[in-house]
Structure 1
Amino acid sequence: MAPTISTSAHESNSTDLISFVVHQGNGVKGLADMGLKDLPKQYIQPLEERISGCNVLPEVAIPVIDLSDSDDPKVAGAICDAAEKWGFFQVVNHGVPVEVLEKVKEATHRFFALPAEEKKKHSKEHSPTNNVRFGTSFTPHAEKALEWKDYLSLFYVSDHEANAFWPSACKDEAMEFMRGSETLAKRLLDALTKRLNVEELDEDKQLLLMGSRRINLNYYPICPNPELTVGVGRHSDVSTLTILLQDDIGGLYVKKLDQHDTWVHVPPISGSLVINVGDALQIMSNGRYKSVEHRVMANGSKNRISVPLFVNPRPSDVIGPLPELLKNGEKPIYKQLLYSDYVKHFFRKAHDGKETIEFAKI
């Protein structure tokens, strides 16, 4: 039966809308494809959550770091400084082939162009594995206002499982992006951990810092009233590092650490990748490196995509301030905790800025 969803007002029945968007697999792309004139009321964010009401600094940019000279100590220093002072930076000449980046962007558009019935096969109710999840917004059941985004989340366990369960429309391209970014992740973490008194990024440390990976394909369809909602609300990532591929449209905003509720747009740079510190690295660095709030603006004229690769500890790992930091008498700010417990805490609630990190404090 067709949903009762108005194309010209905010009046859509909430039950029908949730059924259409969440349970039938249409997502917000299905709403956008209906040619809505007005944003449904379920997506209207409180004024304080809208980017249009924020103080945005147009003349300020996050650091852009050229990685072409891998032996230059100034490059490692710039990486660490950016992680301390910004929590975000962009990298160019990073070693991931441009064709790999272009192909995963194309694959993202290809997946979201599939019929709703096909995408729904990967939803929470229908996916044969918890490691593959198609969804919309963030946690619809916990949110007072929904976010204008659809996503496909792919948690990597093995090539065998990926070949069996990842959607064929994007499987190969997502795997290539993940594989192609591995050397970059190691290089960044090698630089970052040396400043934390870790002499060598050995196999055990690598597993702790980057023992699991999750790749998301995000789709932000054209929004009828972008100023009233968000693509993604204020949050910091739970990863060690996030490696983000943007398209050329833009819409990512980062909170400036040294100024209250002031935000900076992260403009797309052709061929670049955006890097940000996640909560796990903030915890393991005992607060030296900062995971920073960020959010995504909805767009009123173009469909936008992004592809974040989350480099994480393994779910079974216990994380806390690295022992190399504490052996000289530095007091721990964060407790030792099971990484999977931290992640579960993050995903059971709506986006709420930096609240999750409080869960880890002593």
Structure 2
Amino acid sequence: MENERDHDTISSSLASLSKQLAGTKLEGSADIPIVDLSISDEDFLVYEVVKASEEWGIFQVVNHGIPEELMRQLQVVGKQFFDLPEAEKEMVAKEGDFEGYKRKYLGGINHWDEHLFHRLSPPSMINYKYWPKNPPQYREVTEEYTKHMKRLTEKILGWLSEGLGLPREALTQSIGGDTAEYVLRVNCYPPNQDSGLVLGAAAHSDMGAITLLIPNEVPGLQASKDEQWFDLNYINSAVVVIIADQLMRMTNGRFKNVFHRAKTDKERLRISWPVFVAPRADMSVGPLPELTGDENPPKFETLIYNDYIDQKLKGWALEDLPVY
């Protein structure tokens, strides 16, 4: 895109990003931040989430208020769905849109993926034909999880807003408030005995505003920082928070849209549950006026979010869309 600022990422294709990051050093253990949300000092929480968003673009939160049993149920119904016969899974198969079930969606011999993708919110955007009817508890569990996920997202965005010197609701409203889209993607990676790094997802940043993810106990998510790859250590019941492109753009580059990737495991099944939070497709998104000025001019062009998506996808083949 010719008129996009140098700091933006739209013009970088997935292929070039993967090539650029493929040779970076892989660290054996991660120093990715962990934030304990049970701490009563709000100022300290603001400091911690802002610091993690500026330095890493990814962090884990614990004691976040989502019941552990509910998270366990979400994982159970997700695995039960993937354990169904292929014919039953095909009952919620994709029909030309991004929603629905798909097997081996990623192209290339080194990419493995089976996934279920559907909207969670707002209610007017939900199409239940893409929600499995089997297992029968799937809808009840997923709807209850969505309520908690929205509360946690608004809390985190509130602390990030305060850290920017803005009203607590500023970032939530900047992505549309109650009209912001929440989309769940359940990713299933079978064991892979091939030698070397077999990617479930190539290096990428997320297009939306923020992503909240829970994995099963099998590790695989990696984040790039200072030209090194860091493994995300598994913490039972933690939620992984990933800063995406639109928060980077709205904050004029203050928050980092982290590049990340996923790898498969040689012996164990890996499943992850990312929830992508994004503005409405027709919303204009760019640096917030309160965060720019003569001494800090806008680094990014204000764009309709759907146009941003179109621009970023231009360098990606459909079968190479990233997941994790």
Deviation at 1:159, TM superposition (A): 4.3
Give the Å deviation of 1:271: 1.2
In the other structure, the counterpart of 1:344 is 310
Question: 2:115: which partner in 1?
Answer: 151
Cα displacement string for residues 282-303 of structure 1 (whole angstroms, at most 9, x for unaligned residues): 1111110001111111111011
1:1-362 aligned at under 5 Å gives the runs 54-125=24-95, 130=97, 132-137=99-104, 140=107, 147-159=111-123, 161-168=126-133, 169=135, 170-201=138-169, 204-205=173-174, 207=176, 211-225=180-194, 227=196, 229-256=198-225, 259-260=226-227, 262-327=228-293, 329-347=295-313, 349-350=316-317
1:177 positional shift:
1.9
Greater mean alpha carbon deviation, residues 263-272 or residues 218-227: 218-227
Change (3 A) 1:186 1:265: same
Shift of 1:255: 0.4
Q: Say if 1:49 and 1:233, in contact at 8 Å, map to a contact too.
A: no
Q: In the superposition, relative to structure 1, how do residues 352 and 263 fare at CA in structure 2: closer, same or farther (>3 Å)? A: farther
Identity %: 28
Tell me how far apart the structure 1 counterparts of residues 240 and 285 of structure 2 sit (CA, whole Å): 24
Deviations 1:104-154 (A, max 9, x none): 1111111111221222233333x7xx46322245554xxx55621111111
1:109–1:147 CA distance, 2 compared to 1 (3 A): same
Displacement of 1:306 in angstroms is 0.5
SS at match of 1:83: helix
In the alignment, residue 167 of structure 1 is paired with which amino acid?
P
Shift of the alpha carbon at 1:155?
Answer: 1.7
Cα distance in 1 between the residues matched to 2:76 and 2:20: 31
TM-score of the two chains, using structure 2 as the length reference: 0.83
Alpha-carbon distance between aligned partners in 1 of 2:194 and 2:259, rounded to the nearest angstrom: 23
> 1:102: how far off?
0.5
Is 1:218–1:306's contact at 8 Å kept on the other side of the alignment? Answer: yes
Question: How far apart are 1:229 and its partner, in Å?
Answer: 2.4
Amino acid at match of 1:134: Y
Compute the displacement of 1:194 (Å): 2.0
CA positional deviation for 1:176: 2.1
SS at match of 1:225: coil
Q: C-alpha deviations, 1:169-196, integer Å up to 9, x for none?
A: 3333222222111111111101112233
* Shift in alpha-carbon separation, 1:87–1:336, aligned structure 2, 3 A: same
> Which structure: larger Rg?
1
Structure 1 stretches of 5 or more lacking a match?
1-46, 354-362
Give the deviation of 1:80 after TM superposition.
0.2
Distance 1:180 1:96 in 2: 6
- Separation in structure 1 between the aligned mates of residue 255 and residue 122 of structure 2, nearest angstrom: 30
CA contact (8 A) 2:29 2:231 kept: no
Which is bigger in relative contact order (C-alpha 8 A, separation at least 6)? 2
Gaps of 5+ in 2: 1-17
| Aligned partner letter, 2:259 | E
The number of residue pairs the alignment matches comes to: 297
Relative to 1, partners in 2 of residues 1:226 and 1:65: Cα closer, same or farther, differing over 3 Å? farther
**Deviation for aligned residue 1:54:** 4.8
Question: Equivalents in 1 of 2:81, 2:313: separation in Å?
Answer: 24
Q: Per-residue CA shift, 1:306-334, capped at 9, x if unaligned? A: 00011111111110001111256521111
